[in-house]
Amino acid sequence: MENLKTLFIYQCNSLKNIFSPSLAKNLWQLQFLSICDCGELEEITVEEDEENQILFFQNLLRIVVVRCPKIRRLFAISVAPGLQKLEHLCLRENSELEEVFGDKDVDDIVDHIEFVLHQLERLLLHQLPSLTKFCRYHFIFPSLNRLLIIKGCPKISSRFFLDQDHSVHAKANALTMGKEDEMAEFPSEPSIEISCFGYRNIQESLPLYIEKDEQSINQNEEEINIET
């Protein structure tokens, strides 16, 4: 199993999870993971020790999960820092999927904490009716320039932006966008459709990311503390 590079799982209808922590940790050469039509699948990795999952899947290049109706999240957030070689992420027709990366100990949006997937070039989220966010945290994709498709996700609150360094950002809360003299905000319950093929299309379609300065963040935190 330690030399396994490609894993296809298809129509395993009695399967509720795929990897125990000990097994996932040993699959350090795994590059391609495809899961399709697994009707009872609830999780890819067992949740019992999420803090150590940063060691999982460090050589994964491609993840595809299609028609797994009971899975609610792809991975725990602790897996994300280890996915630094991931190039392709495709999630389609998973009717109960609520978020891509989840944190069972956090309920609020935590947009000041950033995670970076340096090599991700293609992201496809399609026909995910329960998806509410990519993640509660702020994700940055410096290499996302080949494919970005978000379709059939009516509940998603995450918004995608492009910064001046050509990195794509995904944030789960409404964020001021556009030019400084033409500020606008997304409505509180938006629905988005994005179909971008290539960097030029992404550049034309995504709003400009404007980072809030530290002073305004501290001011907002002070206001929240006063209210509470």
Domain boundaries, the chain: 6-219
Residue 174's pLDDT is: 46
- Say if residues 131 and 193 touch (Cβ distance below 8 Å): no
Residue 225 vs residue 110, higher pLDDT: 110
pLDDT band (50, 70, 90) for residue 116: very high
Write out the H or E segment, with its range, that includes residue 21: helix 21-26
Kindly report the average pLDDT of the chain as a whole number. Answer: 84
Which amino acid would we find at residue 13?
N
**Bridge partners, residue 10, by sequence:** 36
How many other C-beta atoms are found inside a 10 Å radius of the C-beta of residue 148?
26
Q: Is residue 217 scored above 60 in pLDDT?
A: no
Residue 1 vs residue 113, higher pLDDT: 113
Cα–Cα distance measured from residue 24 to residue 35, given in angstroms and rounded to the nearest whole number? 15
Residue 6, CA distances (Å) to 3, 9, 32, 104, 137 in order? 9, 10, 5, 29, 29
- Say if residues 161 and 175 touch (Cβ distance below 8 Å): yes
Q: Over the stretch 44-97, which tens digit does the pLDDT of each residue have?
A: 988 765 556 667 889 999 999 999 999 999 999 989 999 999 999 999 999 999
Phi, psi of 87 (to 5 degrees): -110, -25
Pairing status of strand 88-92 against strand 122-126: parallel
How many other C-beta atoms are found inside a 10 Å radius of the C-beta of residue 31?
17
Please report the sign of the dihedral spanned by the C-alpha atoms of residue 140, residue 144, residue 145, residue 149.
negative
Cα–Cα distance measured from residue 57 to residue 95, given in angstroms and rounded to the nearest whole number? 25
Pairing status of strand 147-151 against strand 168-171: unpaired
